[in-house]
A and B are shown apart, each in its own frame.
Chain A
Protein backbone atom coordinates (compact mmCIF):
# COMPACT_ATOMS: atom_id res chain seq x y z
CA UNK A 1 0.00 0.00 0.00
CA UNK A 2 1.59 3.28 -1.05
CA UNK A 3 0.58 6.91 -1.23
CA UNK A 4 0.88 6.72 -5.01
CA UNK A 5 -1.80 4.11 -5.53
CA UNK A 6 -4.51 6.45 -4.28
CA UNK A 7 -3.21 9.61 -5.87
CA UNK A 8 -3.88 7.92 -9.21
CA UNK A 9 -7.57 8.05 -8.33
CA UNK A 10 -7.71 11.60 -7.07
CA UNK A 11 -4.82 14.00 -6.54
CA UNK A 12 -4.17 14.78 -2.88
CA UNK A 13 -2.13 17.89 -2.16
CA UNK A 14 -0.15 18.52 1.00
CA UNK A 15 0.92 14.96 1.79
CA UNK A 16 4.31 14.50 3.45
CA UNK A 17 7.23 14.02 1.07
CA UNK A 18 8.55 10.49 1.25
CA UNK A 19 5.45 9.12 2.92
CA UNK A 20 6.58 5.57 2.12
CA UNK A 21 9.84 6.24 3.94
CA UNK A 22 8.00 7.67 6.94
CA UNK A 23 5.78 4.59 7.04
CA UNK A 24 8.90 2.43 6.99
CA UNK A 25 9.95 4.15 10.25
CA UNK A 26 6.98 2.49 11.98
CA UNK A 27 7.56 -1.28 12.17
CA UNK A 28 3.97 -2.08 13.16
CA UNK A 29 2.58 -0.61 9.93
CA UNK A 30 4.00 -3.53 7.95
CA UNK A 31 2.11 -6.07 10.09
CA UNK A 32 -0.54 -8.26 8.59
CA UNK A 33 -3.52 -9.27 10.68
CA UNK A 34 -5.89 -12.25 10.64
CA UNK A 35 -6.59 -13.64 7.15
CA UNK A 36 -3.55 -11.83 5.75
CA UNK A 37 -5.09 -8.37 5.78
CA UNK A 38 -2.53 -5.56 5.97
CA UNK A 39 -3.04 -3.28 8.98
CA UNK A 40 -4.96 -0.09 8.21
CA UNK A 41 -4.49 1.85 11.43
CA UNK A 42 -7.03 4.65 11.74
CA UNK A 43 -7.07 4.98 15.54
CA UNK A 44 -4.23 7.42 16.14
CA UNK A 45 -6.33 9.82 18.22
CA UNK A 46 -6.60 6.90 20.64
CA UNK A 47 -2.90 6.18 20.56
CA UNK A 48 -0.28 6.76 17.90
CA UNK A 49 2.12 4.13 16.61
CA UNK A 50 5.82 4.31 17.49
CA UNK A 51 8.74 4.87 15.13
CA UNK A 52 11.84 2.65 15.36
CA UNK A 53 13.88 5.55 16.73
CA UNK A 54 11.64 5.75 19.83
CA UNK A 55 11.75 1.99 20.36
CA UNK A 56 15.54 1.99 19.94
CA UNK A 57 16.07 4.91 22.33
CA UNK A 58 14.11 3.12 25.03
CA UNK A 59 15.82 -0.22 24.46
CA UNK A 60 19.23 1.44 24.46
CA UNK A 61 18.45 3.16 27.76
CA UNK A 62 17.33 -0.09 29.36
CA UNK A 63 20.23 -2.09 27.93
CA UNK A 64 23.05 0.36 28.65
CA UNK A 65 22.08 3.24 30.96
CA UNK A 66 19.47 1.96 33.38
CA UNK A 67 19.70 3.38 36.91
CA UNK A 68 17.53 5.54 39.10
CA UNK A 69 17.78 9.28 38.55
CA UNK A 70 19.08 12.15 40.66
CA UNK A 71 19.99 9.99 43.63
CA UNK A 72 22.42 7.42 42.27
CA UNK A 73 25.93 8.85 42.46
CA UNK A 74 27.49 6.34 40.07
CA UNK A 75 28.16 6.62 36.35
CA UNK A 76 24.97 4.88 35.32
CA UNK A 77 23.02 7.17 37.63
CA UNK A 78 24.52 10.18 35.91
CA UNK A 79 23.73 8.75 32.46
CA UNK A 80 20.18 7.91 33.41
CA UNK A 81 19.65 11.38 34.89
CA UNK A 82 21.06 12.93 31.71
CA UNK A 83 18.66 10.84 29.62
CA UNK A 84 15.65 11.74 31.76
CA UNK A 85 16.42 15.45 32.01
CA UNK A 86 17.37 15.40 28.32
CA UNK A 87 13.80 14.27 27.64
CA UNK A 88 12.59 17.36 29.49
CA UNK A 89 14.88 19.59 27.42
CA UNK A 90 13.55 18.08 24.21
CA UNK A 91 9.91 18.52 25.23
CA UNK A 92 10.64 22.12 26.27
CA UNK A 93 12.25 22.79 22.89
CA UNK A 94 9.35 21.11 21.04
CA UNK A 95 6.83 23.39 22.77
CA UNK A 96 9.26 26.34 22.70
CA UNK A 97 8.55 26.67 26.41
CA UNK A 98 9.89 29.86 28.03
CA UNK A 99 11.78 27.68 30.54
CA UNK A 100 12.63 23.98 30.68
CA UNK A 101 11.83 23.97 34.40
CA UNK A 102 8.20 24.67 33.50
CA UNK A 103 7.91 21.19 31.95
CA UNK A 104 6.61 18.65 34.49
CA UNK A 105 6.33 14.94 33.84
CA UNK A 106 3.17 13.18 34.99
CA UNK A 107 1.67 9.76 34.35
CA UNK A 108 -0.58 11.03 31.54
CA UNK A 109 -2.64 14.06 30.54
CA UNK A 110 -5.39 13.10 33.00
CA UNK A 111 -2.97 13.20 35.91
CA UNK A 112 -1.68 16.56 34.71
CA UNK A 113 -5.21 18.01 34.85
CA UNK A 114 -5.86 16.39 38.23
CA UNK A 115 -2.62 17.89 39.53
CA UNK A 116 -3.82 21.37 38.65
CA UNK A 117 -7.40 20.84 39.87
CA UNK A 118 -6.26 19.42 43.22
CA UNK A 119 -3.56 21.95 43.96
CA UNK A 120 -5.97 24.81 43.16
CA UNK A 121 -8.26 23.43 45.88
CA UNK A 122 -5.37 23.15 48.33
CA UNK A 123 -3.80 26.52 47.46
CA UNK A 124 -4.07 29.37 49.97
CA UNK A 125 -4.15 32.93 48.72
CA UNK A 126 -5.22 34.30 45.38
CA UNK A 127 -5.13 31.00 43.46
CA UNK A 128 -7.41 29.12 45.85
CA UNK A 129 -10.69 27.97 44.34
CA UNK A 130 -13.54 28.13 46.83
CA UNK A 131 -17.16 28.99 47.38
CA UNK A 132 -18.49 31.65 45.02
CA UNK A 133 -15.81 30.95 42.43
CA UNK A 134 -16.60 29.51 39.03
CA UNK A 135 -14.76 27.00 36.88
CA UNK A 136 -15.58 27.13 33.17
CA UNK A 137 -15.20 24.19 30.79
CA UNK A 138 -16.95 23.19 27.55
CA UNK A 139 -19.44 20.59 26.44
CA UNK A 140 -16.92 19.04 24.02
CA UNK A 141 -14.37 18.05 26.64
CA UNK A 142 -12.93 14.58 27.08
CA UNK A 143 -14.09 13.09 30.38
CA UNK A 144 -10.63 13.76 31.82
CA UNK A 145 -11.21 17.50 31.41
CA UNK A 146 -14.67 17.28 33.01
CA UNK A 147 -14.47 14.96 36.00
CA UNK A 148 -11.46 16.58 37.76
CA UNK A 149 -13.30 19.93 37.67
CA UNK A 150 -16.53 18.34 38.92
CA UNK A 151 -14.53 16.92 41.83
CA UNK A 152 -12.87 20.28 42.48
CA UNK A 153 -16.11 22.28 42.45
CA UNK A 154 -18.02 19.68 44.48
CA UNK A 155 -15.30 19.61 47.11
CA UNK A 156 -14.82 23.36 47.38
CA UNK A 157 -18.35 24.69 46.88
CA UNK A 158 -17.35 26.41 43.66
CA UNK A 159 -19.66 26.31 40.61
CA UNK A 160 -18.97 24.45 37.37
CA UNK A 161 -20.15 26.13 34.17
CA UNK A 162 -19.59 25.33 30.53
CA UNK A 163 -19.74 26.60 26.97
CA UNK A 164 -22.39 24.83 24.89
CA UNK A 165 -21.90 23.77 21.27
CA UNK A 166 -23.36 24.93 17.98
CA UNK A 167 -25.09 22.51 15.63
CA UNK A 168 -21.99 22.34 13.44
CA UNK A 169 -19.83 21.28 16.38
CA UNK A 170 -18.13 24.50 17.40
CA UNK A 171 -18.05 26.26 20.75
CA UNK A 172 -21.08 28.49 21.20
CA UNK A 173 -19.39 31.74 22.21
CA UNK A 174 -22.59 33.82 22.07
CA UNK A 175 -22.83 33.90 25.87
CA UNK A 176 -19.12 34.39 26.53
CA UNK A 177 -19.78 37.66 28.42
CA UNK A 178 -22.12 35.82 30.75
CA UNK A 179 -19.73 32.87 31.20
CA UNK A 180 -16.43 34.68 31.69
CA UNK A 181 -16.94 37.08 34.59
CA UNK A 182 -15.07 38.32 37.63
CA UNK A 183 -16.27 35.15 39.39
CA UNK A 184 -14.42 32.95 36.88
CA UNK A 185 -11.37 31.45 38.52
CA UNK A 186 -10.34 28.81 36.00
CA UNK A 187 -11.11 28.18 32.33
CA UNK A 188 -10.16 24.72 31.08
CA UNK A 189 -10.78 23.73 27.49
CA UNK A 190 -9.56 21.49 24.75
CA UNK A 191 -7.59 22.90 21.87
CA UNK A 192 -8.69 20.15 19.45
CA UNK A 193 -11.74 17.98 20.17
CA UNK A 194 -11.05 14.25 20.26
CA UNK A 195 -14.58 13.54 19.02
CA UNK A 196 -15.67 16.43 16.79
CA UNK A 197 -12.21 17.35 15.55
CA UNK A 198 -13.01 21.03 16.15
CA UNK A 199 -10.02 23.36 16.56
CA UNK A 200 -11.00 25.88 19.22
CA UNK A 201 -9.95 29.56 19.37
CA UNK A 202 -7.86 29.01 22.51
CA UNK A 203 -5.85 32.23 22.17
CA UNK A 204 -8.97 34.39 22.02
CA UNK A 205 -10.63 32.63 24.95
CA UNK A 206 -7.41 32.79 26.96
CA UNK A 207 -7.20 36.54 26.37
CA UNK A 208 -10.77 37.01 27.56
CA UNK A 209 -10.16 34.84 30.63
CA UNK A 210 -7.00 36.74 31.54
CA UNK A 211 -8.93 40.02 31.41
CA UNK A 212 -10.91 38.85 34.44
CA UNK A 213 -7.88 37.34 36.14
CA UNK A 214 -8.78 33.68 35.54
CA UNK A 215 -6.23 30.93 35.01
CA UNK A 216 -6.43 29.00 31.72
CA UNK A 217 -5.61 25.34 31.18
CA UNK A 218 -5.47 24.05 27.61
CA UNK A 219 -5.97 20.32 27.07
CA UNK A 220 -3.64 19.80 24.14
CA UNK A 221 -3.77 15.99 24.07
CA UNK A 222 -5.05 16.09 20.47
CA UNK A 223 -3.36 19.38 19.52
CA UNK A 224 0.30 18.74 20.32
CA UNK A 225 0.38 15.67 18.04
CA UNK A 226 -0.81 17.62 15.01
CA UNK A 227 -0.36 21.38 15.41
CA UNK A 228 2.82 23.42 15.77
CA UNK A 229 2.99 24.77 19.35
CA UNK A 230 5.13 27.81 20.12
CA UNK A 231 4.55 28.97 23.68
CA UNK A 232 7.31 31.56 23.85
CA UNK A 233 6.08 33.35 20.73
CA UNK A 234 2.52 33.75 22.00
CA UNK A 235 1.84 37.18 23.43
CA UNK A 236 1.59 37.03 27.17
CA UNK A 237 -2.16 37.72 27.35
CA UNK A 238 -3.10 34.86 25.03
CA UNK A 239 -0.58 32.32 26.34
CA UNK A 240 -2.37 29.85 28.61
CA UNK A 241 -1.20 29.22 32.16
CA UNK A 242 -1.14 25.45 31.75
CA UNK A 243 -0.94 23.16 28.75
CA UNK A 244 -1.19 19.37 29.05
CA UNK A 245 -0.64 16.49 26.68
CA UNK A 246 0.25 12.80 26.77
CA UNK A 247 3.30 11.02 25.42
CA UNK A 248 1.64 8.14 23.65
CA UNK A 249 -0.30 10.28 21.18
CA UNK A 250 2.88 11.99 19.90
CA UNK A 251 4.56 8.72 18.80
CA UNK A 252 6.04 8.32 22.30
CA UNK A 253 5.39 5.70 24.97
CA UNK A 254 2.49 5.31 27.39
CA UNK A 255 3.06 6.05 31.08
CA UNK A 256 4.19 9.64 30.66
CA UNK A 257 2.30 12.91 30.32
CA UNK A 258 3.37 16.52 30.32
CA UNK A 259 2.16 19.51 32.27
CA UNK A 260 3.64 22.77 31.08
CA UNK A 261 2.84 25.61 33.47
CA UNK A 262 3.92 29.20 33.88
CA UNK A 263 6.71 29.38 36.44
CA UNK A 264 5.00 32.17 38.41
CA UNK A 265 1.86 30.07 38.80
CA UNK A 266 3.54 26.72 39.47
CA UNK A 267 5.66 28.31 42.20
CA UNK A 268 2.52 29.42 44.04
CA UNK A 269 0.90 25.98 43.98
CA UNK A 270 1.27 23.60 46.92
CA UNK A 271 2.70 20.11 46.36
CA UNK A 272 0.47 17.47 44.74
CA UNK A 273 1.86 14.03 45.64
CA UNK A 274 4.35 13.68 48.48
CA UNK A 275 7.38 11.40 48.35
CA UNK A 276 10.99 11.17 47.34
CA UNK A 277 12.47 13.63 44.86
CA UNK A 278 9.93 16.38 45.60
CA UNK A 279 11.55 17.49 48.86
CA UNK A 280 14.35 19.80 49.92
CA UNK A 281 14.65 18.32 53.40
CA UNK A 282 12.53 16.06 55.57
CA UNK A 283 12.29 16.00 59.35
CA UNK A 284 9.79 13.98 61.34
CA UNK A 285 7.81 17.12 62.14
CA UNK A 286 7.72 18.74 58.70
CA UNK A 287 9.38 18.94 55.32
CA UNK A 288 10.43 21.56 52.86
CA UNK A 289 10.01 21.12 49.16
CA UNK A 290 12.11 21.17 46.05
CA UNK A 291 11.67 23.86 43.42
CA UNK A 292 9.94 23.24 40.10
CA UNK A 293 9.83 20.93 38.22
CA UNK A 294 10.82 18.31 40.83
CA UNK A 295 8.39 19.57 43.47
CA UNK A 296 5.61 17.98 41.42
CA UNK A 297 7.44 14.73 40.57
CA UNK A 298 7.26 12.60 43.71
CA UNK A 299 8.83 9.15 43.59
CA UNK A 300 10.85 7.50 40.86
CA UNK A 301 9.64 9.16 37.66
CA UNK A 302 8.90 7.51 34.28
CA UNK A 303 12.56 7.48 33.26
CA UNK A 304 12.71 5.35 30.14
CA UNK A 305 9.39 6.88 29.10
CA UNK A 306 10.97 10.35 29.24
CA UNK A 307 13.83 9.09 27.09
CA UNK A 308 11.31 7.70 24.60
CA UNK A 309 9.21 10.85 24.64
CA UNK A 310 12.31 12.93 23.97
CA UNK A 311 13.11 10.78 20.95
CA UNK A 312 9.50 11.07 19.78
CA UNK A 313 9.30 14.85 19.83
CA UNK A 314 12.72 15.06 18.17
CA UNK A 315 11.38 12.77 15.43
CA UNK A 316 8.31 14.97 14.90
CA UNK A 317 10.43 18.13 14.99
CA UNK A 318 12.74 16.69 12.32
CA UNK A 319 9.76 16.07 10.03
CA UNK A 320 8.41 19.50 10.93
CA UNK A 321 5.10 20.12 12.63
CA UNK A 322 3.94 22.43 9.82
CA UNK A 323 4.40 19.51 7.43
CA UNK A 324 2.63 17.15 9.80
CA UNK A 325 -0.28 19.60 10.03
CA UNK A 326 -0.44 19.96 6.22
CA UNK A 327 -0.48 16.17 5.86
CA UNK A 328 -3.27 15.79 8.42
CA UNK A 329 -5.29 18.48 6.67
CA UNK A 330 -4.82 16.77 3.30
CA UNK A 331 -5.79 13.34 4.62
CA UNK A 332 -8.72 14.76 6.59
CA UNK A 333 -10.04 16.57 3.52
CA UNK A 334 -9.69 13.41 1.46
CA UNK A 335 -11.46 11.40 4.15
CA UNK A 336 -14.31 13.91 4.49
CA UNK A 337 -14.85 13.66 0.70
CA UNK A 338 -14.77 9.87 0.81
CA UNK A 339 -17.16 9.64 3.76
CA UNK A 340 -19.55 12.09 2.07
CA UNK A 341 -19.93 9.56 -0.76
CA UNK A 342 -21.52 7.02 1.60
CA UNK A 343 -25.30 7.20 1.70
CA UNK A 344 -26.75 7.47 5.19
CA UNK A 345 -23.46 8.58 6.78
CA UNK A 346 -23.40 11.73 8.90
CA UNK A 347 -20.18 13.34 10.11
CA UNK A 348 -20.33 14.91 13.59
CA UNK A 349 -18.42 18.18 13.71
CA UNK A 350 -17.09 20.73 11.22
CA UNK A 351 -17.05 19.65 7.59
CA UNK A 352 -14.04 21.71 6.44
CA UNK A 353 -10.62 20.12 6.86
CA UNK A 354 -8.98 23.50 7.53
CA UNK A 355 -11.04 23.95 10.71
CA UNK A 356 -10.50 20.56 12.26
CA UNK A 357 -8.07 17.96 13.45
CA UNK A 358 -7.62 14.45 12.12
CA UNK A 359 -10.31 12.72 14.19
CA UNK A 360 -13.60 12.25 12.31
CA UNK A 361 -16.58 10.75 14.15
CA UNK A 362 -19.61 9.65 12.19
CA UNK A 363 -22.78 7.64 12.35
CA UNK A 364 -24.45 5.53 9.67
CA UNK A 365 -28.21 5.00 9.50
CA UNK A 366 -29.19 1.51 10.64
CA UNK A 367 -25.71 0.48 11.80
CA UNK A 368 -24.35 0.47 15.32
CA UNK A 369 -20.71 1.63 15.70
CA UNK A 370 -19.67 -1.66 17.37
CA UNK A 371 -20.88 -3.61 14.42
CA UNK A 372 -19.17 -1.20 12.03
CA UNK A 373 -15.85 -1.49 13.82
CA UNK A 374 -16.18 -5.28 14.08
CA UNK A 375 -16.66 -5.71 10.33
CA UNK A 376 -13.88 -3.21 9.57
CA UNK A 377 -11.59 -5.11 11.96
CA UNK A 378 -12.23 -8.32 10.05
CA UNK A 379 -10.67 -6.49 7.08
CA UNK A 380 -7.67 -5.25 9.09
CA UNK A 381 -9.04 -1.72 9.56
CA UNK A 382 -8.71 -0.36 13.12
CA UNK A 383 -11.11 2.42 14.15
CA UNK A 384 -12.73 3.31 17.46
CA UNK A 385 -16.39 2.75 18.31
CA UNK A 386 -18.20 4.14 21.34
CA UNK A 387 -18.45 7.50 23.05
CA UNK A 388 -14.70 8.24 22.89
CA UNK A 389 -14.77 9.44 26.51
CA UNK A 390 -16.95 12.35 25.39
CA UNK A 391 -20.43 11.34 26.48
CA UNK A 392 -21.77 14.88 26.99
CA UNK A 393 -20.74 15.87 23.45
CA UNK A 394 -22.48 12.77 22.06
CA UNK A 395 -25.58 13.61 24.07
CA UNK A 396 -25.52 17.15 22.69
CA UNK A 397 -25.89 15.69 19.20
CA UNK A 398 -28.45 13.10 20.37
CA UNK A 399 -26.08 10.29 19.48
CA UNK A 400 -25.42 7.41 21.86
CA UNK A 401 -22.12 6.43 20.26
CA UNK A 402 -20.22 6.92 17.05
CA UNK A 403 -17.52 5.40 14.89
CA UNK A 404 -14.31 7.41 14.76
CA UNK A 405 -11.46 7.28 12.27
CA UNK A 406 -8.33 9.21 13.12
CA UNK A 407 -5.29 9.70 10.94
CA UNK A 408 -1.71 10.70 11.59
CA UNK A 409 1.49 11.50 9.75
CA UNK A 410 1.77 7.93 8.41
CA UNK A 411 -1.80 7.70 7.05
CA UNK A 412 -2.16 7.30 3.27
CA UNK A 413 -5.05 8.12 0.93
CA UNK A 414 -5.13 4.40 0.06
CA UNK A 415 -5.98 3.66 3.69
CA UNK A 416 -8.89 6.09 3.49
CA UNK A 417 -10.01 4.27 0.33
CA UNK A 418 -9.87 0.99 2.28
CA UNK A 419 -12.04 2.55 4.99
CA UNK A 420 -14.65 3.80 2.50
CA UNK A 421 -14.73 0.38 0.78
CA UNK A 422 -14.98 -1.28 4.19
CA UNK A 423 -17.93 0.89 5.19
CA UNK A 424 -19.78 0.06 1.95
CA UNK A 425 -19.06 -3.61 2.63
CA UNK A 426 -20.41 -3.23 6.18
CA UNK A 427 -23.66 -1.79 4.86
CA UNK A 428 -24.02 -4.76 2.51
CA UNK A 429 -23.19 -7.23 5.28
CA UNK A 430 -26.00 -5.87 7.45
CA UNK A 431 -28.27 -5.36 4.43
CA UNK A 432 -28.57 -1.61 5.00
CA UNK A 433 -29.57 0.35 1.91
Chain B
Protein backbone atom coordinates (compact mmCIF):
# COMPACT_ATOMS: atom_id res chain seq x y z
CA UNK B 1 0.00 0.00 0.00
CA UNK B 2 1.61 3.23 -1.15
CA UNK B 3 0.96 5.60 1.71
CA UNK B 4 3.11 8.34 0.19
CA UNK B 5 0.92 8.45 -2.93
CA UNK B 6 -1.98 9.34 -0.62
CA UNK B 7 -0.13 11.72 1.64
CA UNK B 8 1.72 13.85 -0.93
CA UNK B 9 3.95 16.59 0.48
CA UNK B 10 1.62 19.21 -1.02
CA UNK B 11 -1.29 17.75 0.95
CA UNK B 12 0.64 17.66 4.20
CA UNK B 13 1.81 21.25 3.63
CA UNK B 14 -1.73 22.50 3.12
CA UNK B 15 -2.85 20.48 6.16
CA UNK B 16 -0.23 22.11 8.40
CA UNK B 17 -0.73 25.61 6.94
CA UNK B 18 -4.23 25.89 5.49
CA UNK B 19 -4.92 28.81 3.16
CA UNK B 20 -7.94 31.13 3.57
CA UNK B 21 -9.05 29.37 6.78
CA UNK B 22 -11.52 31.03 9.15
CA UNK B 23 -14.95 32.56 8.56
CA UNK B 24 -15.08 36.07 7.08
CA UNK B 25 -17.54 38.79 6.08
CA UNK B 26 -19.04 39.68 3.71
CA UNK B 27 -20.78 36.60 2.35
CA UNK B 28 -24.00 35.84 0.51
CA UNK B 29 -24.39 32.19 1.51
CA UNK B 30 -23.21 29.96 4.33
CA UNK B 31 -23.55 26.17 4.38
CA UNK B 32 -22.70 23.43 6.84
CA UNK B 33 -21.80 20.03 5.43
CA UNK B 34 -20.95 16.84 7.32
CA UNK B 35 -19.64 13.48 6.31
CA UNK B 36 -22.10 11.23 8.18
CA UNK B 37 -19.84 8.19 8.16
CA UNK B 38 -16.93 9.84 9.94
CA UNK B 39 -18.31 13.06 11.36
CA UNK B 40 -16.01 15.47 9.51
CA UNK B 41 -17.65 18.90 9.22
CA UNK B 42 -17.20 22.15 7.38
CA UNK B 43 -18.94 25.50 7.67
CA UNK B 44 -18.29 27.45 4.49
CA UNK B 45 -19.14 30.95 3.26
CA UNK B 46 -19.12 32.26 -0.28
CA UNK B 47 -18.82 35.88 -1.35
CA UNK B 48 -19.50 36.65 -5.04
CA UNK B 49 -19.15 40.02 -6.72
CA UNK B 50 -21.08 40.94 -9.81
CA UNK B 51 -24.15 39.12 -11.05
CA UNK B 52 -25.13 36.68 -13.75
CA UNK B 53 -22.33 35.66 -16.07
CA UNK B 54 -20.06 38.39 -14.69
CA UNK B 55 -20.11 36.97 -11.17
CA UNK B 56 -16.68 36.35 -9.70
CA UNK B 57 -15.75 34.33 -6.61
CA UNK B 58 -14.40 37.11 -4.39
CA UNK B 59 -13.90 35.06 -1.26
CA UNK B 60 -14.41 31.60 0.20
CA UNK B 61 -13.95 31.29 3.93
CA UNK B 62 -14.41 28.21 6.07
CA UNK B 63 -14.18 26.54 9.43
CA UNK B 64 -13.39 22.86 8.94
CA UNK B 65 -12.79 20.00 11.32
CA UNK B 66 -11.48 16.82 9.82
CA UNK B 67 -8.58 14.72 8.64
CA UNK B 68 -5.53 15.86 6.69
CA UNK B 69 -7.18 15.03 3.37
CA UNK B 70 -10.36 17.01 4.03
CA UNK B 71 -8.46 19.97 5.52
CA UNK B 72 -5.96 20.11 2.69
CA UNK B 73 -8.73 19.79 0.10
CA UNK B 74 -10.49 22.86 1.56
CA UNK B 75 -7.26 24.85 1.45
CA UNK B 76 -6.39 23.86 -2.14
CA UNK B 77 -9.98 24.48 -3.27
CA UNK B 78 -9.98 28.07 -2.00
CA UNK B 79 -6.69 28.74 -3.82
CA UNK B 80 -8.24 27.47 -7.03
CA UNK B 81 -11.63 29.16 -7.01
CA UNK B 82 -11.01 32.55 -5.38
CA UNK B 83 -10.67 35.23 -8.05
CA UNK B 84 -12.16 33.12 -10.82
CA UNK B 85 -15.41 33.81 -12.66
CA UNK B 86 -18.11 31.48 -11.24
CA UNK B 87 -18.44 29.55 -14.50
CA UNK B 88 -14.71 28.86 -14.65
CA UNK B 89 -14.59 27.86 -10.97
CA UNK B 90 -17.46 25.42 -11.52
CA UNK B 91 -15.49 23.88 -14.40
CA UNK B 92 -12.54 23.34 -12.04
CA UNK B 93 -14.95 21.76 -9.57
CA UNK B 94 -16.16 19.41 -12.32
CA UNK B 95 -12.59 18.51 -13.21
CA UNK B 96 -11.73 17.72 -9.57
CA UNK B 97 -14.88 15.64 -9.20
CA UNK B 98 -13.95 13.62 -12.30
CA UNK B 99 -10.46 13.02 -10.88
CA UNK B 100 -11.83 11.89 -7.50
CA UNK B 101 -14.42 9.56 -8.97
CA UNK B 102 -11.98 8.02 -11.45
CA UNK B 103 -10.67 5.28 -9.10
CA UNK B 104 -7.13 6.27 -10.00
CA UNK B 105 -7.67 5.94 -13.76
CA UNK B 106 -7.96 9.65 -14.59
CA UNK B 107 -4.88 11.65 -15.58
CA UNK B 108 -5.18 15.08 -13.91
CA UNK B 109 -4.67 18.27 -15.93
CA UNK B 110 -2.15 20.35 -13.98
CA UNK B 111 -3.07 23.52 -15.90
CA UNK B 112 -6.61 23.30 -14.53
CA UNK B 113 -6.09 21.67 -11.14
CA UNK B 114 -2.66 23.03 -10.07
CA UNK B 115 -1.94 21.83 -6.48
CA UNK B 116 -5.10 19.69 -6.57
CA UNK B 117 -3.32 17.15 -8.80
CA UNK B 118 -1.77 15.95 -5.53
CA UNK B 119 -5.15 14.38 -4.77
CA UNK B 120 -4.85 11.93 -7.70
CA UNK B 121 -3.58 9.33 -5.21
CA UNK B 122 -6.62 9.80 -2.96
CA UNK B 123 -8.85 8.47 -5.74
CA UNK B 124 -7.26 5.04 -5.19
CA UNK B 125 -8.51 5.00 -1.58
CA UNK B 126 -12.33 4.78 -1.87
CA UNK B 127 -12.82 5.43 1.85
CA UNK B 128 -11.06 8.80 1.55
CA UNK B 129 -12.72 10.21 -1.58
CA UNK B 130 -15.53 11.70 0.52
CA UNK B 131 -12.94 13.43 2.71
CA UNK B 132 -11.45 15.17 -0.34
CA UNK B 133 -14.85 16.16 -1.69
CA UNK B 134 -16.47 17.51 1.49
CA UNK B 135 -15.49 21.17 1.13
CA UNK B 136 -15.76 21.14 -2.68
CA UNK B 137 -19.38 19.99 -2.39
CA UNK B 138 -20.03 22.61 0.29
CA UNK B 139 -18.60 25.32 -1.98
CA UNK B 140 -20.75 24.21 -4.92
CA UNK B 141 -23.84 24.13 -2.73
CA UNK B 142 -23.21 27.61 -1.31
CA UNK B 143 -22.36 29.06 -4.73
CA UNK B 144 -25.50 27.58 -6.32
CA UNK B 145 -27.60 29.12 -3.56
CA UNK B 146 -26.28 32.58 -4.43
CA UNK B 147 -26.45 32.14 -8.20
CA UNK B 148 -29.97 30.67 -8.13
CA UNK B 149 -31.28 33.28 -5.69
CA UNK B 150 -33.69 35.73 -7.32
CA UNK B 151 -32.16 39.20 -7.52
CA UNK B 152 -33.84 42.23 -5.93
CA UNK B 153 -35.43 43.28 -9.24
CA UNK B 154 -36.85 39.82 -9.88
CA UNK B 155 -38.38 39.46 -6.43
CA UNK B 156 -42.10 40.14 -6.68
Contact = CB atoms under 8 A, between A and B. Distances in A.
Contacts, number: 47
Contacts of B71: 368
B38 A401 contact: yes
Q: Choose among A370, A378, A400 the residue with the greatest number of B CB atoms under 10 Å from its CB.
A: A370
Interface stretch (B62-70, B76-84, B106-114): B62-70
Interface in B20-65: 37-41, 65
Nearest to B38: A386
B97 interface: no
A34 B125 CA distance: 13
A401 B3 contact: no
A150 interface: no
B6 interface: yes
Interface string B6-17: 110000100000
A5 B41 CA distance: 42
A189 interface: no
B47 to A, nearest CB: 27
Contacts of A34: 1
A412 B67 CA distance: 30
B1 A368 contact: no
Interface string A27-43: 00000001100000000
A183 interface: no
Contact of B3 (A369, A375, A387): A375
Interface string A387-401: 100010010000011
A377 interface: yes
Given A378-B3, A386-B39, A430 B68 contact: yes
Interface residues of B, number: 19
B128 interface: yes
B38 A371 contact: no
A200 interface: no
Nearest to A394: B39
A103 interface: no
A284 to B, nearest CB: 43
A394 B1 CA distance: 31
Given A400-B41, A430-B12, A374 B128 contact: yes
A179 interface: no
A35 B2 CA distance: 9
A370 B69 contact: yes
A168 to B, nearest CB: 23
Given A386-B39, A400-B41, A368 B68 contact: yes
Given A374-B3, A378-B3, A368 B67 contact: yes
A43 to B, nearest CB: 14
Contacts of B1: 34-35, 377-378
Contacts of A430: 12, 68
B129 interface: no
A377 B128 CA distance: 13
A385 interface: yes
Given A34-B1, A378-B1, A368 B39 contact: no
A371 B38 CA distance: 12
Contacts of A377: 1
Given A370-B131, A374-B128, A394-B39, A400 B65 contact: yes
B6 A385 contact: no
A306 B144 CA distance: 51
B152 to A, nearest CB: 39
Nearest to A380: B1
B81 to A, nearest CB: 24
Contacts of A394: 39
A386 B66 CA distance: 10
A375 B1 CA distance: 10
B30 to A, nearest CB: 20
Q: Choose among B38, B71, B131 the residue with the greatest number of A CB atoms under 10 Å from its CB.
A: B38
Contact of B66 (A368, A378, A429): A368
A230 B103 CA distance: 50
Contacts of A391: 39
Interface string B113-126: 00000000000010
Interface string A16-56: 00000000000000000011000000000000000000000
Interface string A360-377: 000000001111001101
Nearest to B131: A370
A390 to B, nearest CB: 10
A385 B38 contact: yes
Contact of A387 (B6, B38, B125, B128): B38
27 contacts: A35-B1, A368-B67, A369-B67, A370-B66, A370-B69, A370-B131, A371-B7, A371-B67, A371-B68, A371-B69, A374-B6, A375-B3, A377-B1, A378-B1, A385-B38, A386-B37, A386-B38, A386-B39, A387-B38, A387-B39, A400-B39, A400-B41, A400-B66, A401-B38, A401-B39, A401-B40, A430-B12
Given A370-B131, A374-B128, 16 more contacts: A35-B1, A368-B66, A368-B67, A368-B71, A370-B40, A370-B66, A370-B69, A374-B125, A377-B1, A386-B38, A386-B39, A387-B38, A400-B39, A400-B40, A400-B65, A401-B39
Closest 10 CB pairs of A and B: A370-B67, A368-B67, A387-B39, A386-B38, A34-B1, A378-B1, A378-B3, A401-B39, A371-B68, A400-B65
Interface of A: 34-35, 368-371, 374-375, 377-378, 385-387, 391, 394, 400-401, 429-430
